[in-house]
Amino acid sequence: MKFDVKKAVLVEGLTKVSKVIAAKSTLPILQGILMEVTEQEIKLTGSDTNETISHCIPVDGENVKVYETGKTVLQKQVVDIVKKSRKEITFTLDGFTTTIRSGKGEFDLNGLDPEEYPKFPKVDLEKPTLVFNGNQFKDFIKKTAFAASDKDTRPVLKGVFCDIQGDCIKLVATDSHRLSRVTHKTSNSADIQLVVPAKSLENAIKLFDLDYEVEVFADNGQLLAFRNGPTIYLTRLIEGNYPETSRLIPSDFKANMRINRKEFLSGLEQIYDIANASDGNTKGTAKLHVNGEACLSSHQAQTGKGRIDIPYESLEGEDGFTISFAVKYAIDSLKALECEEVDFKYTDSMRPFLLSPSSDTSDLEEVQLILPVRTIES
């Protein structure tokens, strides 16, 4: 194996595939990067068995020139070496030793046998199940994945439930204390239900080039594949039945308060430090009292108390209600909504409340649900 490559294109590929490589693994070979060089492309692969990333760099005679084909498994240190190299880099493989030359620098890295690198199940990449533009995909994930659980007690809740029924796709995430749901029209005709690890989806939006489309391939019962330009990202699906969540979302409300999202968010962020201290630096609890205006407050005997009054735009229904909730959950939800005004839909002090955009300006339906917190005053 021997080839010349421009630093920029190789750094991009190595950085992407290295994101899923664990510092320690029961399979030492998975602590390295598989490099396969053909006359058509350089293919880089990184994996931890649950997530696998492949990135292809085409041989174009300008950025990449191949003199001899071959393959090897390189130590992860190759990423830092390449990042600190000159613009032009030459790779040469002799046995299991890869020599990297750039400018006056030369490094010999001991590699591993590429034939021992695990073979992963094949996914048919001919016909995508769904196609999103890059920013649309990112938007869907940012609005849902944060609400998934980070606890191992119920593994299925660590995922985002993807429910495709006819011309509609629904994404749902919940940790049993809050819930996020987006619904969008799609041209897909197949009915599919699967649970994708939230962590994988969040990794994907950091990894992908949003100038490219994101193609989703869901024809394998164990794996889900995403293709984004020259990058392919495979993740194992979460097994188990996702709970029925539609019944958790109230349909009748005692009050609907319309309020400026940024002002509401700013008020929550200001009161968060006192609220957080009063809850042992976990999520923090604040009280919202609505009576002519929205009053946010938090009181902690040792730390102090805070109060912020925020005028609302309008109120339909009951005027004069109080509800307590985790401040962080409300902040996360308001950041996800990204609209000018939100509707705060109240049912009861001990029942979930909803946050949703006040106006429907797109074909995306979204709702954020938060369970209240029981306090002494409740």
Give the other-Cβ count within 10 Å of 38's Cβ: 13
61 and 152 assigned to the same domain: no
Say which residue, 126 or 342, is predicted with more confidence: 342
pLDDT value at residue 300? 67
Does residue 122 lie in a domain region?
no
Query: Does position 88 have pLDDT exceeding 60, yes or no?
Result: yes
Q: What is the mean pLDDT of the chain?
A: 92
Average pLDDT over residues 118-131: 87
pLDDT band for position 277 (50/70/90)? Answer: low
User: What is the pLDDT at residue 361?
Assistant: 63
Instruction: Read off the pLDDT band of 378 (50, 70, 90).
Output: very low
At 144-189, the pLDDT tens digits run: 999 999 999 999 999 999 998 878 899 999 999 999 999 998 776 5
Average pLDDT of 195-212? 95
Domain-embedded: residue 346:
yes
Q: Is residue 375 part of a domain?
A: no
- Within 13 Å, how many C-alpha atoms sit on residue 5's CB side? 26
Domain with 15 in it: 2-116
- 151 CB neighbour count, 10 Å cutoff: 11
**In total, how many domains does the chain have?**
3
pLDDT tens for residues 306-317?
899 999 999 999
CATH number at residue 330: 3.70.10.10
Tell me: do 65 and 137 sit in the same domain.
Answer: no
**Looking at residue 219, what is its pLDDT?**
72
The 3-state DSSP class for residue 341 equals strand
User: Based on the domain organization, do 101 and 144 belong to the same domain?
Assistant: no
Cα separation, 57 vs 35, whole angstroms:
11
Q: What is the pLDDT of residue 228?
A: 97
Of the chain, the percentage scoring pLDDT greater than 70 comes to: 94
Q: Are residues 188 and 263 in the same domain?
A: no
In 3D space, the residue among 143, 184, 205, 145 whose CA is nearest the CA of residue 337 turns out to be 143
